[in-house]
Structure 1
Amino acid sequence: MNLEIVLIAMILALLIPIYEACKSDNTWQKMLALGSISSKASIMILVVSVLRDDWMIGVVASIMLSVGNAGFMLLAHILRRLNEA
């Protein structure tokens, strides 16, 4: 039962950046919110993989955690270059 409460709290924490991304018109704020969402989703998947004792899901979650934000940083760099030109 305590683990269910932890997962519900994680889902509620995931909703905060989603709300901020929908509310803001600033591109950088949206990028930060989406980066936060991807990190939180990866952590949630890691928790589920530990609870299920499934290391394959954990490997996918760790790859998402390490590589997922790199795509956002690349997109932010491209957007900055487009705005400079």
Structure 2
Amino acid sequence: MSLLLIAMILVLLIPLYDAWKNDNIWQKMLAFASISTKTAILILFISVLRDDWAIGIVGAIVLTVGNAALMLLANIIKRMNET
């Protein structure tokens, strides 16, 4: 099981490298949305392993609210560039 957690953390680092390498703001936001989703899945996985519903609720909130905040930020940046 620890090997699976290590593999999940290594997969989480791929978008970080892409965000560090790229200067395009939309590519960075896409990478951070990917990080948010993967982190929430990792939290849900750990909550199932520990059989802890409180951690699972936090993972579900991060999964739903985290990406919504990024989409709001993307719309604000888009509208600022239009004017």
Under a length normalisation based on structure 2, what TM-score does the superposition of the two structures give? Answer: 0.98
CA distance in 1, matches of 2:38, 2:20: 17
Identity %: 63
Q: Are residues 1:23 and 2:21 paired?
A: yes
Instruction: Flag as ranges the 4+ runs of structure 1 deviating above 3 A.
Output: none
Q: Which residue of 1 aligns with 2:41?
A: 43
Matches within 5 A, 1:5-84: 5-84=3-82
Cα RMSD (Å) = 0.5
Q: Which amino acid in the other structure matches residue 41 of structure 2?
A: I
Q: How many residues align?
A: 83
Q: Which amino acid in the other structure matches residue 17 of structure 2?
A: Y
Q: Which amino acid in the other structure matches residue 49 of structure 2?
A: L
Q: Which structure 1 segments of 5+ residues have no match?
A: none
**How far off is 1:33 after superposition?**
0.1
**How far off is 1:30 after superposition?**
0.2
